[in-house]
Amino acid sequence: MEERMDTDDWPDLWQALGVEWPVTASTPYPLVYGNPEAWLKTAQVEPELLLHHVRRFVFPGELLASLGDHVLGMWTAQWRQACLLSGLLEYRRRVQDSIQSLWLDQWIVRTQQRLPSSRLAPLIDNTDDWVKLREVDYATDDILRLCDPHRRIRLSYHLLCAVLFDAEIFALTGDGEKPLEPPEQLRGHLRLLRNNSHYKEVYYADGGSKVDWRKLVCFFNTALAPAEQQFLLEY
């Protein structure tokens, strides 16, 4: 008979998963009760590897609930950059005014830089750029709206949910092709929020100021029909 895992044991189970952390990783495996700086460092330099392990973890909701906003913001910083670039490129395709085009071209070039987040922030979060973008209502693009520096923490919740549960969201939306990059994953998540009232209720259970990761995990575990569960096994 298979032994049932207890939720209270999740810190030990997370530590046990550390045997799968590659020795070639840039940072050591982050432990639940370890140095908070270790989590920040791992979130910054190994975001995809950390994502892989959380996907493999049996109690992701408990783990995510234990992480602070600063860690989540650092973890999703590269994905935010990708989403901002995607939104700016889409806006640029619609702009014909030469002055606006030049402004967007310059912002896009800066957003394409591969730099640490501390050095990148002054380039992509220039106050003048965001003032101009707010004046045009973010080009009526929800992703650009969420990328506003004033919404950085809120975006980190949306992004982590979109990327972590991308297979589940894809199964529920039934969209054409699987989203492979954060901008498409985020758009799929936002579509599901608009079209699935239960998902919206669970996601905004705390009014949007926080996300109850345990409730989200429970939602995805129960919302998928058997056929969709099989899809996830093949995803």
The token pair at 39 is 């989590």
Q: Using an 8 Å Cβ cutoff, are 59 and 13 in contact?
A: yes
- CA distance linking residue 215 with residue 87, whole number of Å: 30
What does the pLDDT profile of the chain (235 residues) look like in tens digits? 344 567 889 999 999 999 999 999 999 999 998 888 999 999 999 999 999 999 999 999 999 999 999 999 999 999 999 999 999 999 999 999 999 999 999 999 999 998 777 778 888 999 999 999 999 999 999 999 999 999 999 999 999 999 999 999 998 987 667 778 999 999 999 999 999 999 999 999 887 778 999 999 999 998 876 545 544 445 5
What's the pTM?
Answer: 0.90
DSSP character for 58?
Answer: S
- CA distance linking residue 198 with residue 37, whole number of Å: 36
DSSP character for 5?
Answer: P
Total Cβ atoms within 10 A of residue 6: 10
**Half-sphere exposure at residue 89, Cβ-oriented, CA atoms within 13 angstroms:** 11
